[in-house]
Chain A
Amino acid sequence: MKDVKSPAKNPAPGKQGGLNAEIQSRIGHQLRAMYDDVVRQGVPERFAELIRKLDVPANPPHVGETGGGTNNDGRD
């Protein structure tokens, strides 16, 4: 936030949209409060079960497939 330029030493309250530290700290606080509220809910059972069920063998047999084109790492 240090690269935020404040246009004047004493910006008129309310009119400049000056990003003072207090506003930024409130925004940061609200953002984390919103996010952490979900994080604190932990792992819903449906996902725990999903991961347990998908018990992929450590060394899948790799049958069929000849061309080794499995480079999809999920990044499109």
Chain B
Amino acid sequence: MPLTDALRDDILATVPSLRAFAISLSGNSDRADDLVQETLLRALANIDSFQPGSNLPAWMFTILRNLFRSDYRKRRREVEDAEGNYAKTLKTQPSQGAHLEFEEFRAALDKLPQDQREALILVGASGFSYEDAATICGCAVGTIKSRVNRARSKLAALLYVDGAEDFGPDDTVRAVIGGNG
């Protein structure tokens, strides 16, 4: 469809979540913004192929995801400072404890296979339906569901298995013992 003012506004409105997706995927804010820019240029150049009334965010996310994929294949991963770099993008620096927890989470997310990471982000953070996420990733809905489940299991294992007693009744026991200490 032609690039109307309304459509331009709609495209602009997808930018915040495109950036969040790009940063979640790449772990690097500079690279993420390059990805977003490239996505916008591609989207505008191919706007004729966008079907009016279809899901614009999903269309934009598909472009970004494919760009990230081809970029990834080209130069593998060269983002050793991912966490530090990501932290710089935060508007408000989290408190010390929260920051540590955040970095642990970020590091665990980076350990997921790419397929699982993108599926989890699309469904768990971007808020796409399983169906839309499947369209964006070019796979079956069932595949997305299983990737999301595996991603969640793996994150839980990475983040909480060792510290899972924090959730159990042991806390009370420990508090009692500690109190008597």
Bin the interface of chain B by size.
35 or more
Q: Judge whether B40 and A38 touch: CB under 8 Å.
A: no
Question: 1/0 per position for A22-43, CB-CB distance to B under 8 A?
Answer: 1110111011111111111111
Q: Are B12 and A23 in contact (CB-based, < 8 A)?
A: no
Contact B4 A31 (CB under 8 A): no
Determine how close the nearest CB of chain B comes to the CB of A76; give it in whole angstroms: 5
B49 touches A34 (CB 8 A): no
Residues of A within 8 A of B (CB-CB), count: 47
- Contact between B167 and A23 (Cβ–Cβ < 8 Å)? yes
- B42 → chain A closest CB, angstroms: 5
Q: Is B120 an interface residue (CB 8 A)?
A: yes
- CB of A27 within 8 A of CB of B170, answer no
Chain B interfacial positions (CB closer than 8 Å to A):
2-4, 8, 11-12, 15-17, 19-21, 23-24, 33, 36-37, 40-44, 46-50, 59, 62-63, 66, 70, 89-91, 101-102, 105-106, 109, 120-121, 124-126, 138, 149, 152-153, 155-157, 159-165, 167-170
- Would you list 21 pairs from A and B whose C-beta atoms are within 8 A, ordered by A residue? A1-B152, A4-B149, A14-B162, A14-B163, A15-B161, A18-B164, A27-B124, A27-B152, A30-B101, A30-B105, A34-B105, A35-B20, A48-B12, A50-B41, A54-B44, A56-B47, A58-B2, A72-B46, A74-B59, A75-B62, A76-B66
